[in-house]
Amino acid sequence: MTADAAHAALAGGFEVGLVPRLGPAVADYPPGSTFGPRDARTYEFVWLLSGSATWHWDDLTVPLTPGTLLLVRPGMRDTFRWDPRRPTRHAYVHFTLAGTASLGASWPIVRDLGGRPDPMGALCQYLLWLGAGCPPGWREQAAETLRLLVLTFLAPLPAAADDASGGLPSPIVAAMSAVRSAWSDGVARPVGLDRLAAAAGVSVSTLCRAFQRRFGLGPVAALERLRLARAEPLLWMSNLSLQAIAVQCGFADAYHFSRRFRAVYGLAPSAFRATPPQSAPPSPLVASGLAALEPLTPSP
């Protein structure tokens, strides 16, 4: 089972239990301290607050520094060797998981607490606050916090902030640079085929074929759907007139905007505005895969 499949299976439901008297808490070690070999009986998250350490399991050696989160699994026979030159402070929490049989072997060992768009660092801090203050109901809160921490720890790594291409063909990615430039002021205006092809460094016909193969639509139609999708939050969560929304989405006036919106959504924008989101027609970006282009455009 792959890590992604294991994460999906785990997300279906599992229970977390705190191990009494074993965290969340902090421990201090003098220089050169060691711990182990020991046979882990429970799951344990370990993260350093200061100093450094190395963690040894089988033939694997993992350097630990502040900003690294380690997951020890039951059955591991491991050893910690703490910084030989200065004191080390580390945080830990032991816990049990129910409903995860046979999944753990594919899990990651360490994850970086910094540089990822996720809450793991804050969750670790919150666990320590709960363990130190012990407010009413803290064990239940800690268990729920640990559950989210486990799910986030096991989630696939997101794409780097500077690599939002999502595996799209390079001409499409390059063409979207013209869209970012045209939409940089917040108005999602049309971008001509010639300009898109020039940004991509290919002919118009080559770019059109790339879009057709990937999305089943040409570049102009694809961008129109992106522009129309930007109207959704403006219709539901603003008092803007249809004329103002039309201009923001790059249409000449409310008439042209309404005509194109109805053609794509099957519903006039005024009727769409009055429809609850859960009952509204689906976004035109989902079925076509055009949502993959959104990270390549400026935020609305």
CATH of the domain at 176: 1.10.10.60
| Strand-pair partners of 10 | none
**Omega into 108 within 30° of 0, i.e. cis?**
no
Mean pLDDT of the 108-115 span: 86
Last residue of a domain, one of 121, 154, 187: 154
Mean pLDDT of the 64-81 span: 96
Predicted confidence at residue 165, as pLDDT, reads 57
Last residue of a domain, one of 154, 181, 197: 154
Tokens 């570049």, residue located: 219
Query: Does residue 136 belong to any structural domain of this protein?
Result: yes
**Sign of the C-alpha dihedral, residues 243, 245, 251, 256?**
negative
In angstroms and rounded to an integer, the radius of gyration of the C-alpha atoms of the chain is: 26
DSSP state of 279: G
Is the model's pLDDT at 116 over the cut of 80? no
Whether residue 40 contacts residue 75, with contact meaning beta carbons closer than 8 Å, is answered with yes
Predicted confidence at residue 131, as pLDDT, reads 96
Query: Does residue 160 belong to any structural domain of this protein?
Result: no
Is the model's pLDDT at 5 over the cut of 90? no
Mean pLDDT of the 162-189 span: 87
Tokens 């030159």, residue located: 85
Predicted confidence at residue 100, as pLDDT, reads 64
- Residue 3 confidence class, pLDDT cut points 50, 70, 90: very low
| Percent of the chain with pLDDT strictly greater than 70 | 90
Whether residue 154 contacts residue 103, with contact meaning beta carbons closer than 8 Å, is answered with no
Judgement on whether residues 181 and 145 belong to the same structural domain of the protein = no
Burial call 248-257: b when 16+ CB within 10 Å, e when fewer: bbbbeebeeb
> Which tokens sit at 108?
């990651």
Dist. CA 177–CA 195, nearest whole Å: 10
Judgement on whether residues 106 and 249 belong to the same structural domain of the protein = no
Closest CA to 119 of 77, 160, 147, 79: 147
Predicted confidence at residue 164, as pLDDT, reads 53
Dist. CA 94–CA 41, nearest whole Å: 9
Judgement on whether residues 49 and 108 belong to the same structural domain of the protein = yes
Judgement on whether residues 267 and 189 belong to the same structural domain of the protein = yes
Is the model's pLDDT at 38 over the cut of 50? yes
Judgement on whether residues 81 and 108 belong to the same structural domain of the protein = yes
Whether residue 230 contacts residue 242, with contact meaning beta carbons closer than 8 Å, is answered with no
Query: Does residue 164 belong to any structural domain of this protein?
Result: no
Indicate which CATH number applies to the domain containing 19.
Answer: 2.60.120.280
Is the model's pLDDT at 7 over the cut of 60? no
What total of structural domains would you count in the chain? 2
- Residue 83 confidence class, pLDDT cut points 50, 70, 90: very high
Judgement on whether residues 37 and 144 belong to the same structural domain of the protein = yes
Look up the domain containing 106 and give its range: 3-154
Judgement on whether residues 222 and 120 belong to the same structural domain of the protein = no
Judgement on whether residues 82 and 213 belong to the same structural domain of the protein = no
- Residue 161 confidence class, pLDDT cut points 50, 70, 90: very low
Predicted confidence at residue 11, as pLDDT, reads 56
Calculate the average pLDDT of the chain.
Answer: 90
Is the model's pLDDT at 13 over the cut of 80? no
Judgement on whether residues 183 and 207 belong to the same structural domain of the protein = yes
pLDDT per residue over 16-26, tens digit each? 999 999 999 99
Predicted confidence at residue 59, as pLDDT, reads 92
